[in-house]
């Protein structure tokens, strides 16, 4: 790409074109107190060799899961990614593709998204999936807004207190301007109890959001809770861990109406927090209220298999009042990575990964709880993630582990509204070894 110079002559020509005398005049509307009154603190000019050396020095100060041992959870996890996923996703026809505005001309992309939808339906046990959303948190909100459209109830939405705090914040951001009441059903014992849920639901409730496994790692009891939604005509929205369904029942198997998930664990690196991938699938009768895109399979006039964009209910394609969301693109490349990952793993591979996670997590919990002043925060079944109660304080506990090359967390006090100074979440994926777990415990002794 050619470098375009911005010479003084160029600046004068542009200023004259827009009718101002100087660059400073462009910023007259910004109060002087908010302007920088000194030059930027930039290093002196460098040669190419000096600049390359300096950049390498800066890069060497960063560390990640390739150089440290990651036991961090809270929605993003250090799962193994087969090399074939990178090989497929780095093909130029996938890597450079943008939103298919002339959809039917992009048969390769449409076929890939169709396969993605098919795999997500198999994964979740639901009837229909869209072609991806942004990430897990906004997927929860999109599902809630969809449930409000389906039930035509806009007064109340209920969530379990064990839902990810960041998911709750996103939901609050969307619902507050709508005047919708967000009812939080507290879970002091780590999971919801049926009487509390039943008492919180009424005929004005659009839906109940259940995270299973939940933010603390505990397994909820959706088969006991979802019938409570049925009685009052509310929908059940389940946020699940895609890896967990290698062992646990799928959301569709225990009656969920809408299933959402963060798809990062399906072949997507942690990569500084994004971009990630939102999954959303639902029962067939709700398909016309679903946000995003839906790819379908058909035949052309010559009888050949082809793919079409069946639904795209966005502002660009439909009257604003009838648009089901403001999603203006999707995580296409991330969906391709997830498609490659699920295709490579298959049902047996997903089961084996889930088994490794649950066995290693329980071994790690047992060993960590052998340390003085360390216990499980909740005496509940868990999958690959659990919450420890640390008498010496969670932050001190994590700092000590970090100094030894192990990353734990998040701590419960990181989230707004949590006064818990002693809770720390630990996640153990299939990548962690017995030697790493034992070394962590030894370091914390």
Least confident of 127-141, 312-326, 366-380: 312-326
Neighbours of 173 (CB within 10 A): 11
In the chain, the N- to C-terminal Cα span, in Å, equals 55
The DSSP secondary-structure symbol of 382 reads: B
State the Cα–Cα distance between residues 239 and 213, nearest whole angstrom: 8
Instruction: Identify the pLDDT of residue 416.
Output: 66
The DSSP secondary-structure symbol of 166 reads: H
What separation in angstroms does the CA of 429 have from each of 123, 194, 407? 19, 30, 13
The answer on pLDDT for 219 being more than 80 is yes
Instruction: Identify the pLDDT of residue 352.
Output: 98
State the Cα–Cα distance between residues 361 and 290, nearest whole angstrom: 36
State the Cα–Cα distance between residues 441 and 370, nearest whole angstrom: 9
Instruction: Identify the pLDDT of residue 330.
Output: 61
Residues 6+ positions from 372 with CB-CB distance below 8 Å: none
The answer on pLDDT for 137 being more than 90 is yes
The answer on pLDDT for 1 being more than 60 is no
State the Cα–Cα distance between residues 154 and 364, nearest whole angstrom: 44
The answer on pLDDT for 2 being more than 80 is no
Q: Are 111 and 305 in contact (CB under 8 A)?
A: no
Model pLDDT for residues 155-214, shown as the tens digit of each residue: 999 999 999 999 999 999 999 999 999 999 999 999 999 999 999 999 999 999 999 999
State the Cα–Cα distance between residues 136 and 75, nearest whole angstrom: 8
Among candidates 305, 298, 294, 438, which has minimal Cα distance to 364?
438
| 61-67: average pLDDT | 86
Instruction: Identify the pLDDT of residue 37.
Output: 87
Taking each helix axis from N to C end, the angle separating 434-444 and 394-403, rounded to the nearest 10 degrees, works out to 120
Model pLDDT for residues 291-312, shown as the tens digit of each residue: 888 999 999 999 999 999 888 7
Rounded-to-10 torsion of CA 213, 215, 217, 219: -40
What separation in angstroms does the CA of 102 have from each of 91, 99, 110, 254, 308? 21, 9, 11, 39, 10
Bridge partners, residue 237, by sequence: 209, 258
The answer on pLDDT for 254 being more than 80 is yes
Q: Are 205 and 234 in contact (CB under 8 A)?
A: yes
Q: Which residue has the higher pLDDT, 32 or 356?
A: 356
Residues 6+ positions from 108 with CB-CB distance below 8 Å: 93
The answer on pLDDT for 419 being more than 90 is no
Average of per-residue pLDDT values in the chain: 93
State the Cα–Cα distance between residues 216 and 423, nearest whole angstrom: 10
The DSSP secondary-structure symbol of 67 reads: T
Instruction: Identify the pLDDT of residue 326.
Output: 60
Q: Are 336 and 116 in contact (CB under 8 A)?
A: yes
Instruction: Identify the pLDDT of residue 5.
Output: 76
Rounded-to-10 torsion of CA 188, 189, 195, 196: 20
Instruction: Identify the pLDDT of residue 196.
Output: 97
State the Cα–Cα distance between residues 218 and 211, nearest whole angstrom: 9
Instruction: Identify the pLDDT of residue 216.
Output: 96
The answer on pLDDT for 98 being more than 90 is no
Instruction: Identify the pLDDT of residue 370.
Output: 97
State the Cα–Cα distance between residues 241 and 431, nearest whole angstrom: 17
Rounded (to 5) percent helix, strand, coil in the chain: 45, 15, 40
State the Cα–Cα distance between residues 313 and 371, nearest whole angstrom: 54
Burial-class residue 33 by CB neighbours within 10 Å (0-12, 13-18, 19+). Answer: exposed
| 372-390: average pLDDT | 97
Q: Which residue has the higher pLDDT, 134 or 260?
A: 260
| 356-378: average pLDDT | 98
- pTM assigned to the model: 0.89
Q: Which residue has the higher pLDDT, 205 or 419?
A: 205
| 243-268: average pLDDT | 98
| 377-404: average pLDDT | 96
CATH numbers and ranges of domains, the chain: 69-80+346-444 (3.90.1150.10), 83-342 (3.40.640.10)
Model pLDDT for residues 6-19, shown as the tens digit of each residue: 888 999 999 999 99
Instruction: Identify the pLDDT of residue 165.
Output: 95
The answer on pLDDT for 315 being more than 60 is no
State the Cα–Cα distance between residues 55 and 59, nearest whole angstrom: 6
What separation in angstroms does the CA of 268 have from each of 86, 212, 236, 264? 9, 21, 28, 5
Confidence tier at 265 by pLDDT (50, 70, 90): very high
């Amino acid at each position: 790409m050619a470098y375009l110079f911005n010479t003084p002559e160029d600046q004068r020509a542009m200023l004259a074109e827009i009718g101002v005398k100087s660059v400073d005049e462009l910023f007259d509307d910004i109060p002087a107190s908010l302007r920088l009154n000194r030059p930027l603190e930039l290093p002196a000019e460098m040669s190419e060799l000096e600049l390359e050396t300096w950049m390498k020095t800066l890069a060497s100060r960063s560390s990640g899961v390739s150089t440290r041992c990651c036991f961090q959870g809270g929605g993003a996890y250090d799962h193994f990614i087969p090399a074939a996923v990178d090989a497929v996703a780095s093909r130029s026809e996938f890597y450079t593709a943008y939103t298919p505005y002339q959809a039917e001309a992009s048969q390769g992309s449409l076929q890939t998204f169709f396969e993605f939808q098919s795999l997500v339906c198999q994964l979740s046990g639901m009837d229909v999936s869209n072609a991806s959303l942004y990430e897990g948190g906004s997927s929860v909100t999109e599902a809630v807004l969809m449930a409000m459209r389906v039930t035509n109830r806009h007064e109340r939405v209920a969530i379990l207190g064990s839902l990810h705090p960041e998911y709750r914040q996103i939901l609050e951001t969307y619902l507050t301007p709508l005047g919708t009441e967000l009812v939080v059903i507290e879970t002091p014992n780590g999971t919801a109890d049926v009487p509390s849920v039943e008492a919180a639901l009424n005929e004005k409730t659009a839906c109940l959001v259940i995270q299973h496994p939940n933010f603390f790692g505990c397994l909820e009891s959706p088969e006991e809770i979802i019938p409570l939604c049925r009685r009052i005509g509310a929908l059940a929205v389940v946020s699940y861990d895609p890896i967990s369904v290698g062992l646990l029942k799928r959301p569709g198997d225990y009656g969920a109406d809408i299933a959402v998930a963060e798809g990062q664990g399906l072949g997507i690196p942690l990569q500084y927090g994004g971009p990630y991938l939102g999954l959303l699938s639902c029962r067939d009768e709700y398909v016309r209220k679903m946000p995003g895109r839906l790819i379908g399979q058909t035949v052309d006039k010559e009888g050949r298999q082809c793919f079409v964009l069946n639904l795209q209910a966005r502002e660009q394609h439909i009257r604003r009042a009838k648009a089901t969301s403001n999603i203006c693109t999707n995580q296409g490349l991330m969906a391709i990575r997830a498609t490659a990952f699920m295709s490579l793993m298959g049902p047996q591979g997903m089961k084996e990964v889930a088994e490794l996670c649950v066995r290693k997590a329980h071994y790690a919990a047992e060993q960590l709880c052998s340390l003085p002043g360390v216990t499980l925060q909740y005496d509940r079944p868990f999958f690959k993630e659990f919450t420890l109660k640390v008498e010496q304080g969670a932050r001190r506990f994590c700092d000590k582990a970090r100094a030894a090359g192990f990353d734990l967390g998040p701590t419960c006090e990181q989230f707004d509204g949590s006064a818990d100074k002693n809770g720390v979440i630990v996640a153990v994926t299939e990548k962690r070894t017995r030697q790493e777990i034992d070394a962590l415990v030894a370091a914390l002794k």
